[in-house]
Structure 1
Amino acid sequence: MKKETTFSTKGHSAAVGSLSIQRMLPNQYAAKVGPFVFLDYVRPVVKEVITKNGMGAHPHRGIATLTYILQGKVEHFDSAGNEATIRSGGAQWMKAGNGIIHDENLNYDSLTESKFIQGFQFWINLPAGNKAEKPAHMAIQAAEIPKKTFPNENGWLKVVVGSYEDLSSEIPNYSKQFLYHIQLKAGTRFSLTMESETEVAAFLPAQNVILNDTEFQAGEFIEFDRGAGEIEINNPSLTTIDVLLFGGEEYTEPVVAEGPFVMNSQAEIATAYRDFYAGRYGEIKLTAQK
């Protein structure tokens, strides 16, 4: 049985520094999908000038941030002393835990022939028991992301978060969660089955796609029902398509989100702000001039 869709939306436009983004989650219909509570899509744009000053240092607490860059180069700096660079196809994960300040610098990837930048930032809500842990960071290059190639080279599935068949991402799991990037060549299809009570959504970055016999437009965010069932992705077009599927088990603890913090109570939000203004998250100290 194929899963039913519960809603679709194109989110809303916003600006992050000089970037034009599409905010897909939270939206008017849903505040979260599994442990995922936030999704910004950086739409494809040519970036001619290399910037060096970052996008603006800011704090986080209670979540893990996940940046997945399709095209471009992302430099990361944080107050725990982590510095790393990922390039096109790579991902970086940062557990904010009990508080951290970070910044990212997004530029085109000089190792490719393209000056386009395109990517995603997710926030993954941490269980209450993990929100008080120390921050951590992980940078994963494109070649390190597990990948399953479909028969006849009709496409592939990358496991950015979670597991699929015998593949597992290096990114830690604090609950059942997954983020798959699926690419299908023209005229092909692919299906996978979801367990009951799994929250799952799809995002279509750049092309129209048929999901379970219904065509959706480029830029749409689609959520499915929680019943067990199949999700079929069909590409009837003449070009290759990309689909992101993500979600996991329902986050059942209270969720209180304000600004860059996601906690379990308003009192914890107040503490998060108080600790930030008291300087308890530290400061970014670069080991070398970038």
Structure 2
Amino acid sequence: MKKQASFSTQGSRADLGPLTIQRMLPNRYASAVGPFVFLDYVAPAIKNSITKNGMGAHPHRGIATLTYILQGEVEHFDSAGNGGKIYSGGAQWMKAGNGIIHDENFNYDSQTDSKYVQGFQFWINLPAKNKAEKPAHIAIQANEVPQKTLPDNSGTIKVVVGNFEDLGSKIPNYSEQFLYHIQLEPAKQFSFKIKKEIEVAAFLPTQKATLNEVEFQKGEFVEFDREAGEIEIKNTSETAIDIMLFGGETYAEPIVAEGPFVMNSQQEIIGAYRDFYAGKYGEIKNIN
């Protein structure tokens, strides 16, 4: 049985400095997809519009941030002393845990001929027992992202988060979760089975695609029902397309989100702000 689309949306504009950003999650229909509580899509931006002075240092608590860059490079700095730079196709994961301040520089990829920046930032909600842990950071280059060719040479699947068949990401799993980057060749299709009660959504950054016989346009975010079933993706375009497929098991604990903090109660939100203003998250010392 094929899963049904619950809704689709184009999100809302949430530009940041020189970057054109489309906020896909939360949206008017949903506040989370599995453990994912936030998704910003950074639309392609040309080299000359990018700053090297960071996007603005800010705190987080209770989540892990995930930056996945399609084109360009991203340099990370945080108050725990972590740093790293990823290039086109790479990912950076940062567990905010009990509190951290971070900043990122977006720029064109100095290792390739690409003069664009394009990518995603997700927030992954941590279980209550993990929200008080110390911060951590992982930088994963493109050649470290597990991937394989799809049957019938239909394209490729990259496992940015979670597992797929014999592939597993380096990013820790605190619950059942997945983020796949699927590239599908023209006139090809790929089917993916989802268990009951697993929340799943698709985002189409580059081209239209047909999902379970319904055509969705470039820039659409599509969430599906929670029944067990299949998602069939068809590429009716003349060029290869990209599909981001992500989700996981329902977050079973209370969710209270305010600003950059995602906790389990309003009291914990108050504590997150109190600790931040008291300077308990430290400061970034290694940014240019």
TM-score range, shorter chain: over 0.9
Q: CA deviation at 1:153?
A: 3.0
- Secondary structure (helix, strand or coil) at the match of 1:186 reads coil
Indicate the percent of aligned positions where both proteins have the same amino acid: 72
Return the alpha-carbon distance in structure 2 between the equivalents of residues 113 and 20 of structure 1. Answer: 21
* Offset from partner CA, 1:99-155 (integer Å, 9 cap, x none): 000000000002111111100000000000000000000000000000011244321
Please list, as runs of the form range in 1=range in 2, the aligned pairs for 1:132-281 lying within 5 A after superposition.
132-281=132-281
Return the alpha-carbon distance in structure 2 between the equivalents of residues 18 and 132 of structure 1. Answer: 34
- Secondary structure (helix, strand or coil) at the match of 2:268 reads helix
Aligned to 1:66: 66
Return the alpha-carbon distance in structure 2 between the equivalents of residues 151 and 196 of structure 1. Answer: 25
Return the alpha-carbon distance in structure 2 between the equivalents of residues 50 and 163 of structure 1. Answer: 34
Matching residue's letter, 1:165: E
Return the alpha-carbon distance in structure 2 between the equivalents of residues 237 and 11 of structure 1. Answer: 23
Q: Do the aligned partners of 2:154 and 2:190 also contact (CA within 8 Å) in 1?
A: no
- Secondary structure (helix, strand or coil) at the match of 1:15 reads coil
Return the alpha-carbon distance in structure 2 between the equivalents of residues 238 and 209 of structure 1. Answer: 11
- Secondary structure (helix, strand or coil) at the match of 1:187 reads coil
Matching residue's letter, 2:266: Q
Aligned to 1:52: 52
* Offset from partner CA, 1:60-115 (integer Å, 9 cap, x none): 00000000000000000000000100000000000000000000000000211111
Q: Do the aligned partners of 2:18 and 2:50 also contact (CA within 8 Å) in 1?
A: no
Unmatched segments (≥5 aa) in structure 1: none
Return the alpha-carbon distance in structure 2 between the equivalents of residues 150 and 3 of structure 1. Answer: 21
Q: CA deviation at 1:17?
A: 2.0
Q: CA deviation at 1:19?
A: 1.1
Please list, as runs of the form range in 1=range in 2, the aligned pairs for 1:60-139 lying within 5 A after superposition.
60-139=60-139
Return the alpha-carbon distance in structure 1 between the equivalents of residues 110 and 134 of structure 2. Answer: 34
Matching residue's letter, 1:270: I
Return the alpha-carbon distance in structure 2 between the equivalents of residues 30 and 185 of structure 1. Answer: 30
* Offset from partner CA, 1:207-251 (integer Å, 9 cap, x none): 000000000000000000001110000001101000000000000
Unmatched segments (≥5 aa) in structure 2: none
Q: CA deviation at 1:52?
A: 2.2
Return the alpha-carbon distance in structure 1 between the equivalents of residues 115 and 274 of structure 2. Answer: 41
Provide TM-score, normalisation by structure 1: 0.98
Q: CA deviation at 1:14?
A: 1.3
Aligned Cα root-mean-square deviation (Å): 1.0
Matching residue's letter, 1:54: G
Matching residue's letter, 1:240: A
- Secondary structure (helix, strand or coil) at the match of 1:48 reads helix
Return the alpha-carbon distance in structure 2 between the equivalents of residues 262 and 50 of structure 1. Answer: 29
Matching residue's letter, 1:32: A
- Secondary structure (helix, strand or coil) at the match of 1:247 reads strand
Asked if 1:11 is matched to 2:3, the reply is no
